[in-house]
Structure 1
Amino acid sequence: MKETLRRVGAAMAQLVRGAGLALVSYLFLALILFTAFVTVLVVGAAVLPETVQLLRRTAGFKRRLVGGWTGRPVPEAYLPLTGDVRARVRTALTDPGTWRDLRWLAVHFVYGLVLLYVALPLVVLGLLVDGVWCGLVGRRAVLLPLVVRLADLDAHWSRLLLLPSPEAQRSADLAERVEELTVTRAGAVAAHGAELRRIERDLHDGTQARLVSLSMRVGLARRAYDKDPEAAKKLLADAQDQAEEALTELRHVVRGIHPPILTDRGLVGAVRALAAGSGLDVAVHDDGVEAGTRAPAAVEAAAYFVVAEALTNAAKHSGSERASVELSRRGAVLRVVVRDEGRGGVDESGGSGLLGMRRRVAALDGTVEVSSPVGGPTVIEVELPCAW
Structure 2
Amino acid sequence: MGKTVRQAARATVQLVRAAVLALGSYLFVTVLLITLVATATVVGAGVLPETVRLVRQIAGAKRRQVALWTGREIPEAYLPLTGPPRERLRTAVRDPGTLTDLRWMAAYYAYGCLACLVLPLWPVGLAVDGVWCGLMGREAVVLPLISRVADLDARWSRSLLKPSPKARLAERVEELTETRAGAVAAHGAELRRIERDLHDGTQARLVSLSMRIGLAKRAYDRDPEAVRRLLDDAQDQAEEALTELRHVVRGIHPPILTDRGLVGAVRALAASSGLDVTVLVDGLEGGTKSGTEGGLRAPAAVEAAVYFVVAEALTNAAKHSGSPRASVQLERVSTGIRAVVWDEGLGGADETGGSGLLGIRRRIAALDGIVTMTSPVGGPTMIAVELPCVW
Tell me the TM-score normalised to structure 1 length.
0.83
Residue 98 (str. 1) matches residue 108 (str. 2): no
Tell me how far 1:178 sits from its aligned partner: 1.5
SS of 1:368 mapped into structure 2? strand
Residue 203 (str. 1) matches residue 212 (str. 2): no
SS of 2:352 mapped into structure 1? helix
Q: Deviations over 1:58-79 (max 9, x none)?
A: 1221232233234444444545
User: In structure 1, what is the Cα distance between the partners aligned to 2:71 and 2:387?
Assistant: 32
> Does the 8 Å CA contact 1:79/1:171 hold for their aligned counterparts?
no
Q: Which residue of 2 aligns with 1:241?
A: 236
Q: Which amino acid counterpart does residue 369 of structure 1 have in structure 2?
A: T
In the superposition, relative to structure 1, how do residues 161 and 248 fare at CA in structure 2: closer, same or farther (>3 Å)?
closer
Give the alignment's Cα RMSD to 1 decimal: 3.3
SS of 1:45 mapped into structure 2? coil
Query: Alignment partner for residue 217 of structure 1, among 212, 219, 227?
Result: 212
What is the percentage of aligned positions where both structures have the same residue? 65
Q: Which residue of 2 aligns with 1:296?
A: 299
> Does the 8 Å CA contact 2:263/2:281 hold for their aligned counterparts?
yes
Q: Which residue of 2 aligns with 1:66?
A: 66
Tell me how far 1:231 sits from its aligned partner: 2.2
> Does the 8 Å CA contact 1:63/1:159 hold for their aligned counterparts?
no
User: In structure 1, what is the Cα distance between the partners aligned to 2:160 and 2:115?
Assistant: 24
> Does the 8 Å CA contact 1:287/1:327 hold for their aligned counterparts?
yes
In the superposition, relative to structure 1, how do residues 259 and 181 fare at CA in structure 2: closer, same or farther (>3 Å)?
same
User: In structure 2, what is the Cα distance between the partners aligned to 1:179 and 1:139?
Assistant: 56
Comparing 313-322 with 46-55, which one deviates more in the overlay? 313-322
Name the structure with the higher helix share: 1
Q: Which residue of 2 aligns with 1:346?
A: 349
Q: Which residue of 1 aligns with 2:37?
A: 37
> Does the 8 Å CA contact 1:289/1:328 hold for their aligned counterparts?
yes
In the superposition, relative to structure 1, how do residues 186 and 21 fare at CA in structure 2: closer, same or farther (>3 Å)?
same
User: In structure 1, what is the Cα distance between the partners aligned to 2:383 and 2:331?
Assistant: 14
In the superposition, relative to structure 1, how do residues 343 and 199 fare at CA in structure 2: closer, same or farther (>3 Å)?
same
SS of 2:382 mapped into structure 1? strand
> Does the 8 Å CA contact 2:59/2:161 hold for their aligned counterparts?
no
Q: Which residue of 2 aligns with 1:319?
A: 322
In the superposition, relative to structure 1, how do residues 72 and 260 fare at CA in structure 2: closer, same or farther (>3 Å)?
closer
Q: Which residue of 2 aligns with 1:305?
A: 308
Tell me how far 1:41 sits from its aligned partner: 1.7
In the superposition, relative to structure 1, how do residues 345 and 83 fare at CA in structure 2: closer, same or farther (>3 Å)?
closer
Q: Which amino acid counterpart does residue 64 of structure 2 have in structure 1?
A: R
User: In structure 2, what is the Cα distance between the partners aligned to 1:274 and 1:106?
Assistant: 58
Between Structure 1 and Structure 2, how many residues are aligned? 383
Q: Which amino acid counterpart does residue 156 of structure 1 have in structure 2?
A: L
SS of 1:342 mapped into structure 2? coil
Q: Deviations over 1:288-307 (max 9, x none)?
A: 52325533322222222222
> Does the 8 Å CA contact 1:309/1:353 hold for their aligned counterparts?
yes
In the superposition, relative to structure 1, how do residues 75 and 332 fare at CA in structure 2: closer, same or farther (>3 Å)?
closer
- Structure 1 segments unaligned to the other structure (5+ residues): none
Comparing 374-383 with 5-14, which one deviates more in the overlay? 5-14
Q: Which residue of 2 aligns with 1:185?
A: 180
Q: Deviations over 1:79-130 (max 9, x none)?
A: 555666555445544555434433443444455356436634x56x847xx5
Q: Which residue of 2 aligns with 1:22?
A: 22
In the superposition, relative to structure 1, how do residues 79 and 306 fare at CA in structure 2: closer, same or farther (>3 Å)?
closer
Q: Which amino acid counterpart does residue 65 of structure 2 have in structure 1?
A: L
Matches within 5 A, 1:162-177: 163-164=159-160, 168-177=163-172
Q: Which amino acid counterpart does residue 295 of structure 1 have in structure 2?
A: A
Tell me how far 1:373 sits from its aligned partner: 4.5
Query: Alignment partner for residue 160 of structure 1, among 142, 156, 159?
Result: 156
User: In structure 2, what is the Cα distance between the partners aligned to 1:97 and 1:274?
Assistant: 46
Matches within 5 A, 1:8-19: 10-19=10-19
In the superposition, relative to structure 1, how do residues 22 and 333 fare at CA in structure 2: closer, same or farther (>3 Å)?
closer
Tell me how far 1:162 sits from its aligned partner: 5.5
In the superposition, relative to structure 1, how do residues 84 and 164 fare at CA in structure 2: closer, same or farther (>3 Å)?
farther
SS of 1:320 mapped into structure 2? coil
User: In structure 2, what is the Cα distance between the partners aligned to 1:43 and 1:133?
Assistant: 64
User: In structure 2, what is the Cα distance between the partners aligned to 1:374 and 1:82?
Assistant: 32
Tell me the TM-score normalised to structure 2 length.
0.83
Q: Which residue of 2 aligns with 1:380?
A: 383
User: In structure 2, what is the Cα distance between the partners aligned to 1:260 and 1:381?
Assistant: 24
SS of 2:298 mapped into structure 1? coil
User: In structure 1, what is the Cα distance between the partners aligned to 2:67 and 2:204?
Assistant: 65
User: In structure 1, what is the Cα distance between the partners aligned to 2:189 and 2:173?
Assistant: 24
> Does the 8 Å CA contact 2:326/2:341 hold for their aligned counterparts?
yes
